[in-house]
Amino acid sequence: MNAHHKSMIAVNGLVKVYKGVTVLNIPELNIARGESFGLVGNNGAGKTTLFRMILDLVLPLEGEVLLQNENVRQSENWKQFTGSYLDEGFLIDYLTPNEYFNFIGSLHGLHKAEVAERLRKFSDFFNDEILDKPKYIRDLSKGNQNKVGIAAALLIEPQLLILDEPFANLDPTTQIRLKNLLRELKEKRQLTMLISSHDLNHVTEVCDRIVILNKGQLVDDIRTSADTLKELEAYFAV
């Protein structure tokens, strides 16, 4: 498989400083195509900042992010193959979930019928709480809003998926369904995933590679194995 050798994300000399404090400093980070990459770290470690820089929402002081070898600041191409959901700011709250999915689909040239077809795969995940309900997204619970955002990110069948804390606010059943869904996508579609989580259990179950971020620095880069969870717990038990 040639695809494995190709770079999906390349981070070079990325530095971000807020009010004199270096909040992120990553000299080099490469994520290959098809890799499932987990990012763990305490609050303020810089996880969300890194995600935002990958999505060109935060301007780095120095350095660059390449997605499929193209600088995100110079090219718009990454938007076509990247599905992302970081927080509620990625939702349009006065739309119904159906309208939101149709809107996102239309940006990728999908017709209503194609969107509906693709959404069928998520019926378990949605648990009948999302689709065809006369409710605006702003009136949904946090957990259900989360589901809408994740599904919209997956709807476009991305090559790269970026999710910030996807398991937060989800009920236990949905957490398990989401894990199954992500594992299935990884195996069937060679999806590259970038997931952050506070929950060490989830992240070790879904990801092949886990990186620990602490105060903006990469501290450890681990290939997931049977001992990974213990290693991580040992690191965070202070």
Partner 1 sequence: MPGKGAPANNPIFCMLNRILSHQWKEATRAAAWQNHLVMNIIMGIVLFFMVLNLGVLGFFLHKILEAAVPGQEVVLTFNKAIIYYLGIDLVLRFFMQQVPVLAVQPYLHLPVKKSKLVHFVLGKSVLSFSNVLPLLVALPFAFQAVLPAYGLLPALAWSAGFISLVLFNNFLNLYLKRQLTLKPVVFLLLAAGLAGLAGLEYQGIFRLSSLTENSFATLLAQPAMWFLLPLLPVVMYTFNYQLLRRNMYLSELESATASVTNVHEFAFLKKLGAAGNLLALEMKLIWRNKRPRSLFISSLFMVAYGGVLIIMKDPQEENVPDSIMLIFAGVLTTGACMLYYGQYLHSWDANYFDTLMTKNISPYQYYHSKFLLFIGMCTIALLLSLGLAILDWRVLPLNFALYLYNIGVNAFVVLLLGVYDAKKIDLTKNAAFSWQGLGVVQYFIMLPLILGPVLLYLPFYMLEQSDLGLTMLAALGITGLVFHKPILKKLAKRLKSRKYKMAAAFRAA
Q: Which two three-digit tokens encode residue 90?
A: 């990625």
- Coil/strand/helix, residue 190: coil
134 counts as binding partner 1 under rule CB under 8 A: yes
In the chain, the amino acid numbered 9 is I
Of the residues 6, 103, 114, 173, which one makes contact with partner 1 according to CB under 8 A: 103
Of the residues 10, 11, 40, 86, which one makes contact with partner 1 according to CB under 8 A: 86
Q: Which is nearer to partner 1, 51 or 204 (by Cβ)? A: 51
Give whole-number Cα distances, 58 to 13, 24, 47, 61, 149, in Å.
15, 12, 12, 10, 20
Of the residues 5, 76, 113, 237, which one makes contact with partner 1 according to CB under 8 A: 76
Q: Which two three-digit tokens encode residue 63?
A: 């350095």
Residues 172-231 that bind partner 1 (CB under 8 A): none
Query: How many Cβ atoms are within 10 Å of 123's Cβ, its own excluded?
Result: 11
**DSSP codes of every residue in 44-111:** TSSHHHHHHHHTTSS--SEEEEEETTEETTT-STHHHHEEEE-SGGGS-TTS-HHHHHHHHHHHTT--
Kindly state the smallest distance separating residue 221's Cβ from partner 1, in Å. 26
141 counts as binding partner 1 under rule CB under 8 A: no
Q: Which is nearer to partner 1, 111 or 230 (by Cβ)? A: 111
Kindly state the smallest distance separating residue 87's Cβ from partner 1, in Å. 8
Question: Closest Cα to residue 22, out of 53, 59, 61?
Answer: 61
Q: Which is nearer to partner 1, 18 or 219 (by Cβ)? A: 18
Q: Which is nearer to partner 1, 10 or 104 (by Cβ)? A: 104
Kindly state the smallest distance separating residue 137's Cβ from partner 1, in Å. 10
Question: Strand pairing of 36-40 and 209-214?
Answer: parallel
Question: Strand pairing of 21-32 and 70-71?
Answer: unpaired
136 counts as binding partner 1 under rule CB under 8 A: yes
139 DSSP assignment: G
139 counts as binding partner 1 under rule CB under 8 A: yes
Q: Which is nearer to partner 1, 55 or 195 (by Cβ)? A: 55
Q: Which is nearer to partner 1, 130 or 232 (by Cβ)? A: 130
Residues making contact with partner 1 (CB under 8 A): 55-59, 73, 76, 79-80, 82, 84, 86-96, 99, 103-104, 106-108, 134-136, 138-139, 156
